[in-house]
Structure 1
């Protein structure tokens, strides 16, 4: 446990993932008193996200303290997104022409992003209170009372749910989480392997058996995300190699498996981002397919936008936060859902049309550039 839990604050933040940390840093910069709680011990998180897009790097620039340079030094800049059907290239989406100081996707594990944000928070005098699990959030006209599972209470002017898909704050706010889930399960694995394209691209590969994303990570590793009808709870090296052999024959040789998991993916957006003094950000407000790597990025941008809104002290700015950020989530969910459904269709005729159209569309500069901006989230400034 890092410190005793205070009894009062201006803003209580539930969840110290990338979203909660970005919000806390933004509030610390503005001199707003806050308490950041997380139910896990430090370092107990898994590392699902693996890419920081250009717009998020711009936001990290705003958070100061060299956060962006810190991450760039720990990651791999990749300047293209390649779409394939098996070994056959269909479309290449370049990031190098993006109008930004960061014309690339930075491949870096989520734990590194969290560590960089935590270092910045501590430099500003902030800290995460662990492990504190919030059991309830009760609001009235003057504030919110959070009660932990150990019976401790924290009184705050506002409470922010940055506590993931199963958000306690969202449930307390009685905000519906509209959407549904995909039939397939997703396999996620970090491996050391020989991979024909190497560390120069993020690759999204179509196959009759499902979608496979391969992305380089520091230390000679690669991140694999793949749809599977039914996957074991902890896919082993043999399972991962068989999956790759089926979908990318002759292109991979897995030497070792660092970490793996199976999970189900939903595509949902909260009907509102605010109910009175309870607010939502990150996965508490939106979840979607990992195709495109948008999740953590959208959450960090939520945290930054909400922190700036809270710093104004104007309740109208909180409504403006929802008006600005919820449409972004809807666009991201729509984009990743289209990508996933196009990639995973089992209809042979649709696959044929898809594979014929994509190379043609990718030759149209305006369309290619628009998709690059969407993936980089630069149109959400």
Structure 2
């Protein structure tokens, strides 16, 4: 294990997609940047699987978009179901972008691609390194950490980026509030092999009084691998084959789906929160440290990567001598985006889980009627693709 240096221009805490994207932007600009992460390795499960059009545009500047295509699958359609009824189909074709679709790719592959690109840029992730304290003064920031063996040490930096997730120690150290709440339901995440009636160029969202369910195709040599995300009242600690089969049968009745294998599964609680500020002095936030929300729409990782690309570019300019006020553009631009994503995903989640039958019937009528209008379908695709974030 390499020794963490004593100083750096920028320290990034957290080496997920957001942290690595910021690191690439800074290292490409010649900034001395160090990434610290407490995990022994990057993601080895699929977790976030959707890469939207705007993110593909943003990552093009770093030369990794083509690799995402190579390792993922292109999915240009989105369908909305209530039980066995299709309420609407949304196509991404015709969007004003080179990438009128989503790319489905496991987060482990996305992180591997970004990690290789980060190394090519000349930066390094120091793993088994858990940050314990972050203290700033007028001249810089001291980041204290412990290594694999529990030894305490520190690194001094001009700037620190907290990309260390929802429970960010960097955000807490900066005294930045994280306003929002927690959904009462829990979420089940499962990668499975199963028979599925829909084409593999389509993601489907299923409305149900029991909860919202998303089914998305995943890249695999065998064309029967899918991601299932579902809200449930109280998910069991372990999701076995029978549990997932019953879940799919209830949410997609009459489809005769057969779940053959669970590759990986998890459960989690979902919050909808946004940091009160994205900057406190020399400390900045990106990714889940700055915003978390429902996975409906698959926009979490995408928003974080877009945060990081902008922040890395602005911070590189400041390190090179631009006024510190240059960084004000970051919060001014990106925080409203996060607020919009949180509001949008919250509306989708609550709309999808309506329980009273009259409300569900009205919802279905409105959706079915509105989405017959091409302009409405285009607007929904534009929102999902995050192209409005340009």
TM-score (norm 1): 0.97
Classify 1:372/1:235 alpha carbon distance in 2 versus 1 (closer, same or farther; 3 Å). same
Moved more, 240-249 or 285-294: 240-249
Q: What are the within-5 Å matches in structure 2 for residues 155-194 of structure 1? A: 155-194=156-195
| Contact 2:13/2:36 (<8 A) preserved | yes
In structure 1, the gaps of 5 or more residues are none
Cα offset, 1:369, TM superposition: 1.2
Q: What are the within-5 Å matches in structure 2 for residues 115-134 of structure 1? A: 115-134=112-131
State the distance in 2 between where 1:148 and 1:345 align.
46
Cα offset, 1:28, TM superposition: 1.1
SS in 1 for 2:258: strand
Match of 1:224 among 216, 221, 228: 228
Q: What are the within-5 Å matches in structure 2 for residues 270-349 of structure 1? A: 270-313=275-318, 314-349=323-358
1:19 alignment partner in structure 2: 18
State the distance in 1 between where 2:199 and 2:236 align.
28
1:249 correspondence with 2:250: no
- Residues 63-85 of structure 1 show CA distances to partners (whole Å, capped at 9, x for unaligned) of 12xx1111101111011111110
Cα offset, 1:45, TM superposition: 5.0
Q: What are the within-5 Å matches in structure 2 for residues 45-124 of structure 1? A: 45-64=44-63, 67-124=64-121
| Contact 2:59/2:65 (<8 A) preserved | yes
Cα offset, 1:119, TM superposition: 1.0
State the distance in 2 between where 1:45 and 1:275 align.
33
SS in 1 for 2:195: strand
Classify 1:179/1:44 alpha carbon distance in 2 versus 1 (closer, same or farther; 3 Å). same
- Residues 103-128 of structure 1 show CA distances to partners (whole Å, capped at 9, x for unaligned) of 10000001111111111111122221
- Residues 247-301 of structure 1 show CA distances to partners (whole Å, capped at 9, x for unaligned) of 1123211110000011000000000000001110000000000000000000000
Cα offset, 1:89, TM superposition: 0.6
1:356 correspondence with 2:365: yes
SS in 2 for 1:305: helix
| Contact 2:162/2:171 (<8 A) preserved | yes
TM-score (norm 2): 0.95
| Contact 2:141/2:282 (<8 A) preserved | yes
State the distance in 2 between where 1:263 and 1:46 align.
15
Q: What are the within-5 Å matches in structure 2 for residues 29-48 of structure 1? A: 29-43=28-42, 45-48=44-47
SS in 2 for 1:218: coil
SS in 1 for 2:152: coil
| Contact 2:42/2:111 (<8 A) preserved | no
Cα offset, 1:234, TM superposition: 2.0
State the distance in 1 between where 2:42 and 2:125 align.
12
1:238 correspondence with 2:242: yes
| RMSD (Å) for aligned C-alpha atoms | 1.0
Cα offset, 1:316, TM superposition: 1.3
- Residues 176-215 of structure 1 show CA distances to partners (whole Å, capped at 9, x for unaligned) of 1000011100000000000000312000001121111000
1:5 alignment partner in structure 2: 4
Classify 1:197/1:44 alpha carbon distance in 2 versus 1 (closer, same or farther; 3 Å). closer
